[in-house]
């Protein structure tokens, strides 16, 4: 399992691995927002938390179609499926690698982009906390979507169509934590809900992901 994780991390950092693409996308989306809605800092401060969450979510989505498709194309998935490692572990490790290379950098970059969007000071802490708790769920749910569409030639668009509705609860609670935090409201309830969603998806969804992957490998 550790070997697989290390290999995926290595692949992500090597040339053409796509590390940083999601981060760059996050940056660009965030920078485009003021162009679209106008530069008034009060308006930006109101929407900053939501925009940053949405940007992080889209950046996550962007890298999902490479998550399993590359291993599928070169036959690695067939070989991994016959290896002693259960597929449940494979998809969990894949999701973890995706989070480490995409989710975690987004969490770290979010406060800097928060400055650009005039995020109120108390919001920074809650933004980081909500992203830290919420992005693992995005990776795990995304892995499920990637496993569903892995056998398809042009699965990218379909992947987005399938995964985005599944992202709704995470987005609602995650952005709610950041938004409430920014205006000084209590954040405990949405944060607990967010943590609950993340914990439940990590615990249960890999079984579904492995099941659909098995079906796709047939």
Note the residues at the interface with another protein (CB under 8 A). Answer: 2-4, 7, 10-11, 14-17, 73-76, 78-85, 144, 148-149, 151-152, 155, 158, 161-162, 164-166, 168-169, 172-173, 176, 189-190, 193, 197, 205, 208, 211-212, 215-218
Cα dihedral value 113, 28, 65, 107, nearest 10: -10
Phi, psi torsion values for 210, nearest 5 degrees:
-65, -40
- Chain centroid offset of residue 129 CA: 15
Is the Cβ of residue 119 or residue 148 nearer to another protein in the bound state? 148
Q: Taking the CB of residue 16, how many other CB atoms lie within 10 A of it? A: 7
Q: Which of 122, 140, 146 is nearest to 205 (CA)?
A: 140
Is the Cβ of residue 32 or residue 215 nearer to another protein in the bound state? 215
Is the Cβ of residue 4 or residue 95 nearer to another protein in the bound state? 4
Q: CB of 191: closest distance to another protein in angstroms?
A: 12
Helix (H) or strand (E) holding 47: helix 41-62
Q: CB of 54: closest distance to another protein in angstroms?
A: 14
Q: CB of 124: closest distance to another protein in angstroms?
A: 22
Is the Cβ of residue 25 or residue 167 nearer to another protein in the bound state? 167
Q: CB of 160: closest distance to another protein in angstroms?
A: 9
- Pull the structure tokens for residue 129: 């906390």
Phi, psi torsion values for 14, nearest 5 degrees:
-70, 170
């Amino acid at each position: 399992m550790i070997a697989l994780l290390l290999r995926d991390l290595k692949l992500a950092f090597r040339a053409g691995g796509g590390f940083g693409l999601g981060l760059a996308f996050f940056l660009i989306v965030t920078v485009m927002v003021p162009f679209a809605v106008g530069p008034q800092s009060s308006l930006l401060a109101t929407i900053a938390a939501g925009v940053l969450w949405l940007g992080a979510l889209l950046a996550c989505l962007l890298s999902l179609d490479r998550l399993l498709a590359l291993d599928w194309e070169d036959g690695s998935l067939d070989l991994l499926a016959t290896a002693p490692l259960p597929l449940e572990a494979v998809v969990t490790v894949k999701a973890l690698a995706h989070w480490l290379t995409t989710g975690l950098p987004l969490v770290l970059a979010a406060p800097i982009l928060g400055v650009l969007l005039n995020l109120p000071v108390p919001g920074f802490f809650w933004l980081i906390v909500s992203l830290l708790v919420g992005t693992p769920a995005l990776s795990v749910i995304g892995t499920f979507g990637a496993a569903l569409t892995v056998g398809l030639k042009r699965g990218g668009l379909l992947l987005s169509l399938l995964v985005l509705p599944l992202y709704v609860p995470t987005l609602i609670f995650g952005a709610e934590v950041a938004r409430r935090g920014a205006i000084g409201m209590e954040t405990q309830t949405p944060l607990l809900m967010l943590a609950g969603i993340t914990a439940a998806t990590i615990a249960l969804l890999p079984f579904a992901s492995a099941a659909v992957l098995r079906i796709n490998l047939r």
